[in-house]
Amino acid sequence: MNADERPPRPPWSDFKAALRAAGFRPSRRLGQNFLLDENMTRAIARDAAVGPGDFVLEVGPGCGFLSVHLAQLGVRLLAVELDPILAPIAAAFLAPYPSAEVIEADVLAGKHRLAPAIAARLPGAGPWHLVSNLPYSIGGPVLALLAARSHPPDSMTVLIQLEVGERLAAEPGTRAWGPLSIAVQWAYAVRILRTVPANLFWPRPAVESAVVRMERRSDRAPARDRARRQRVVARLFQRRRQTLGRVVSDLLRDRRGAEALLAAIGLDSRRRAETLALDELAALADSEALAALDSPQDPSPDSRAPEPDEPEPRPSTPDRKKTS
């Protein structure tokens, strides 16, 4: 279905009336803020660079305002909506597109695991993509979980809290550089494409948003290696402002061994973990001494998230943002 054949989007007042009739009120707990600007939703779909036949996962479609632009492109769309009122509204709006499916479910089973029913639907081979207006509080975990998969998305294009976007795209030595940055950048090149003003949402959020584009790296390590390295990163960043000499000495319980290890890798023992680039972190994590300390609880790279980053910020705004 091309742009001329696509039914026009009904005015927001029609959706708002339907939501009111269904007894819907935006949830502060879920942080439900609807992206109303059609130019912006169209731009996000364009930024995603997806086309006919591509498998696309969308988390939090809301009423389906972004979904319809993706469906128009001919993708095979799996839209996962938590809210039992919004899911059927989105499904009805997308009814003209047989390749679009809306399911009512939570994408996560807890903070650090994909819901098994959702994980089972994700491709194990071939191209696929994430394109979403991600709920704020689950944005980091969802992106880290997908990036850690043995067959991660070819690209992830998301509208997310600006602060999280800055962490995703952070560089070593900056305040934003941390486990989330590293977990995603093991597998992706990350760019912030644009900021999105609060006045394009209803209700209006009190935090800034940004569109972030992540493209899968061809030189990424296997998923199990990335997961093992990330567990070492989590240990290092628990004491990110202490010197490597002290942290590694405590991990190995061997000061001289730690000094010899760092010297062999070419790392100054006076540096801090927060200054290390990806290749330096990989070299340290791959060292025989630190690799021997690793004992993962769950060996599956497709089910568990990497070790969590510092806690999600808790502004005075809702703790979870569901956009449409």
pLDDT at 316: 33
Structure tokens at 196: 């999105």
3-state secondary structure of 45: helix
135: preceding bond cis by omega (within 30 degrees): no
pLDDT at 253: 96
DSSP 174-214: STT-SHHHHHHHTTEEEEEEEEE-GGGEESPPSS-EEEEEE
Which domains does the chain carry?
A: 12-216 (3.40.50.150), 223-291 (1.10.8.100)
DSSP 57: E
* CA–CA distance, 282 with 217 (Å, rounded to integer): 15
DSSP 96: T
Indicate whether this model's pTM tops 0.85: yes
DSSP 273: G
* CA–CA distance, 192 with 158 (Å, rounded to integer): 10
Beta bridge partners of 55: 76, 128
Beta bridge partners of 195: 210
pLDDT at 70: 96
Structure tokens at 26: 């935006």
pLDDT at 33: 82
pLDDT at 206: 83
Cβ count within 10 A of residue 195: 11
Sequence-distant (≥ 6) Cβ neighbours of residue 17 within 8 angstroms: none
Handedness of CA 311, 316, 319, 324 (dihedral sign): negative
pLDDT at 302: 62
Contact by Cβ (8 Å): 214, 292? no
Categorise residue 110: left if φ over 0, alpha if ψ from -120 to 50, beta otherwise.
Answer: left
The series of mean pLDDT values per 10 residues for the chain, 324 residues long, is: 61 87 82 88 97 97 94 97 94 95 96 94 97 89 96 97 97 97 98 96 90 97 96 96 97 96 97 98 96 65 51 36 49
pLDDT at 25: 87
Through-space distance between the first and last CA atoms of the chain, rounded to whole angstroms: 21
From residue 269, give the alpha-carbon distance in Å to each of 5, 85, 265, 275. 64, 56, 11, 12
pLDDT at 51: 97
